[in-house]
Every structure is written in C-alpha cells, then in structure tokens.
Amino acid sequence: MTDRLWGRAFIGGAIRERMLITVEDSQIAEIREVVQAPSDALVVHDLIVPGFIDIHVHGGDGADFMDGAEEAVARVSSFHARNGTTALAATTLSASRADIRNAVTTIARVSHSSRQAAEICAIHLEGPYISAKRAGAQSVECVRPADIQEIGALVNEASHLRWIITVAPEIEGVRALIEHFRGRVIFSIGHTAADYGDAVAALEWGATQFTHLFNAMTGMHHREPGVVGAALVSTAATAELIADGIHVHPAVLRVATLAMPSRIALITDAVRAAGMPAGDYKLYDQKFSVSESGGARLADGTLAGSTLTMQRAVQNMVELAGLPIEMVIPMATEVPARILGIADRKGRIAAGYDADLVVLTPKFEVARVFVRGRELR
C-alpha cells in the first residue's frame, strides 16, 4: 500500500474532506487535514471508510467454515475481503461434536496466518444449543442440551480468539453455560421459541446480544413482546441485522436502527453460495437452492442464510432503508468492533488503528480494499 492516502474520509462519525491518512507498518500513523494532496500521496476521489467487520458469516465463493478445510477458510476470508470485510467471526452451525471440533481447530490454526485476507478475530458458534422449533435451516438432529465441558474444550482450542455462542434461553443447561462462561464468551440469544420473560432473564444471566434480530425468534406483539421486544427495550444489548431486503423488510430495518442507536451490527449470515451463480448448494447436511434474485431457501421455503456481502448490506441500509451513510457505516465497523472487543484497534480510521480501509464509490460499491496496510488486488 502507498504510505499515504488523501481524500474524503469517514472520521469521528462524519465525512471530512481533504484528509491525509499516513500508514506505517500496517497501522495508521497519522491523520490530518491538508488542503492539497502531497505529490507522493494516493489521491482518492471516492469515500474512504473503515474496513467492515462481519460477526456472523458462514461461507462464500463455494466454501463454508464447516468444511473444516484450510482451503475453505482461505476462500471464505478472501472472498469477503474483496467485498470490503477486513475482519470477521468465522461462524459454524449445529453439527456433530466431531464436525464442530474439526471446524474450530481448522479455523484456529488458519487464523494464526498473516496471509489471510480478512482477519479472523473470533469464532461464532451458531448452535447447537438452540430450539428445534426455531432451528431454521440448521440440522434439528444435531440440536442438543448445553454442555459446559464441550464448550470448555472448544474454547481451549482457540483461546486466542474471541467467542460468540448463539443459544436459546429455554434449552436445558443454557443458564448454567452462560453463568459459567460469562466474561469469556459473548452469548447471543437466537434460534429460540422463548417468550419476553425468558429473554429478559437470559440478559440477566449474562447474555448481551441477539442473533439476526427478527429471524428464528418470537416476534413482537402488543400483548406479548417476545424476544424481539426484549431486544428493543434493552438499553445495553446489541443485535445483529441481516440487511438483504429478504430477511427483514426495509421499513423494519429502519425501525430497528432508530430504536437501537449504536447497538445494531450489520451481518451477512452468508453461506457458501455468496458470490456464486443461482443453483443448488449444501448447508452442512441440508440442501438449499439460490434463485436468480439471490434468496437462499430450503425446499420447504425456509431461509438458509444469505448470499449477502457487507458492502451490499451497507448499500441496502442507505438505498432501501433510507438511512444516512453516516449512521450506517458504524453499524458495519464500530459496533461490531466493540462487540468483539477489538475497538481499540479496528472499526475506526484513527491513529494507532490497523490500516483496514475500504474505498466506496458514490453508489457504495467497493473500489479498493486495504487490509492491514496491504491493498488487495
């Protein structure tokens, strides 16, 4: 990467003109306003924003983290990096103990490599301690009671990474699991048939997040607020949001964002079909199809993740939900960085932070990506 970039940049919550960003040793060394671009600086005519951070992504480019292969991990992280994601939480599914362990050990091993495109900062176990009634496209046969020993062994396999675990509060053993690992693991409420009271109780036990808000959980009714209601009235919990225009109506995307300021993290929930043509694919042991419109569904119509990228999620929040870009960018950068505990080095354009930068065109398409100071080609 060139040592310096000059142009419009999203800094400190606002778009600022004529900013000179100096990079040294993969980090941002200095930021200052300069009237004219220095001769040795790369002049950027578009908008420079922090690299996107995806805390819930399964796959892309034909590969899935559950494949348990180093090549698959590399393909997924490289694909999403090309679309603006510079850091992510590699996400698994409800599966056998052996398959989850294999996926985790592979992710942990590859995450040490500096050659990966998007940096793997965390592992997100989406199950298997979820409700069979709200399993969605996940394997019902692999859903099981919470097991402290199983999680302890997995966390030890990748102790250098942050951990997120999606759980259903009503499942046997979940309270003990949350209370045992509280502080070491981020617990996210999701794939649940719980009511409002159950969700509030889970927050009191130590859960701090909601997995893909509105999907695979009890909705909000004026006489029964459900899990969605618990998320909306919480003052501290964060929530994931899939902004593909399919999982959540654009009007509801807007409502959730306005109701939970600084607490919404955009995610892709992308599966292996992301970046691939329409056709048939596999999500662990489930077959699903992708239509020409991009929707991924099982044969019975159940949504099976998405084919979304973070770039498209940002674009949709502006173009479909009608939100200002200044409000949307933190949902893809600062909020997920805070969730993963890496807000001291990622999620902002600031001195001392990793030089993870994305250049967006006026149509919010990715023009250039820099990962830790290196431009992807």
pTM: 0.97
* Residue 203 and residue 103 in one domain: yes
Predicted confidence band of residue 292 (pLDDT cuts 50, 70, 90): confident
Domain of 239, CATH number, reads 3.20.20.140
Is the distance from CB of 53 to CB of 337 less than 8 angstroms? yes
Q: Which domain holds residue 21?
A: 4-48+358-375
| 5-48 pLDDT, tens digit each | 999 999 999 999 999 999 998 999 999 999 999 999 999 999 99
- 201 found inside a domain: yes
User: 116 and 259: one domain?
Assistant: yes
Tell whether 312 is covered by a domain: yes
pLDDT of residue 116: 60
For residues 31 and 180, membership in a common domain is answered with: no
DSSP 213: T
Is the same domain home to 195 and 268?
yes
Of 195, 269, 354, 356, the catalytic one is 269
Q: Quick one: CA dihedral 148, 94, 242, 373, positive or negative? A: positive
**259 shares its domain with 129:** yes
Mean pLDDT of the 201-225 span: 98
pLDDT band at 377 (very low <50, low <70, confident <90, very high): confident
**Is 279 buried (19+), middle (13-18) or exposed (0-12) by CB count in 10 A?**
exposed
Total structural domains within the chain: 2
Q: 86 with 173, same domain? A: yes
**DSSP, res 278:** S
Whether residue 38 sits in one domain with residue 88: no
Residue pair 251/243 in contact (Cβ under 8 Å)? The answer is no
User: Are 169 and 269 found together in one domain?
Assistant: yes
For the chain, what percent of residues have pLDDT higher than 70? Answer: 99
What pLDDT is attached to residue 1? 52
Instruction: For residue 352, tell me if it sits in a domain.
Output: no
Q: Over range 211-230, report the average pLDDT.
A: 98
Element of type H or E holding 133: none
Tens digit of each residue's pLDDT (9 = 90 or more) over 92-147? 999 999 999 999 999 999 997 755 689 999 999 999 999 999 999 999 999 999 99
Average pLDDT over residues 230-251: 97
- From the CB of residue 259, how many other CB atoms can be counted at a distance below 10 Å? 13
Euclidean distance between CA atoms 296 and 308, whole angstroms: 10
| Residues 164, 56: Cα–Cα separation, whole Å | 9
Q: What is the mean pLDDT of the chain?
A: 96
Statement to judge: residues 77 and 56 lie in one domain: yes
Position 2 scores a pLDDT of: 62
Using CA atoms, how far apart are residues 242 and 109, in angstroms rounded to an integer?
29
Catalytic (active site) residue 269: yes
Q: Does residue 110 sit in the same domain as residue 15? A: no
pLDDT at 293 over 90: no
> What SS3 state is found at 179?
helix
Q: Where are the alpha helices (DSSP H) in the chain?
A: 70-82, 97-111, 148-157, 174-181, 196-205, 226-233, 250-259, 310-319, 325-332, 334-340
| 86 touches 281 (CB < 8 A) | no
Rounded to whole angstroms, the Cα distance separating 135 from 286 reads 12
Residue whose structure tokens are 């993740």: 305
- Domain check: are 57 and 37 in the same one? no
DSSP run (H or E) holding 295:
none
pLDDT of residue 3: 87
The verdict on residue 37 lying in a domain is: yes
Say what the pLDDT of residue 112 is: 77
- Sorted by sequence, the CB contacts under 8 Å of residue 157 that are 6+ apart come out as 101, 104, 105, 108
Residue 351 lies inside a defined structural domain of this protein: no
Is the domain of 185 the same as that of 270? yes
* Ramachandran sector of residue 206 (left: φ over 0; alpha: ψ -120 to 50; beta: rest): left
CA R_g for the chain: 20
| CA 153/CA 158 separation, integer angstroms | 9
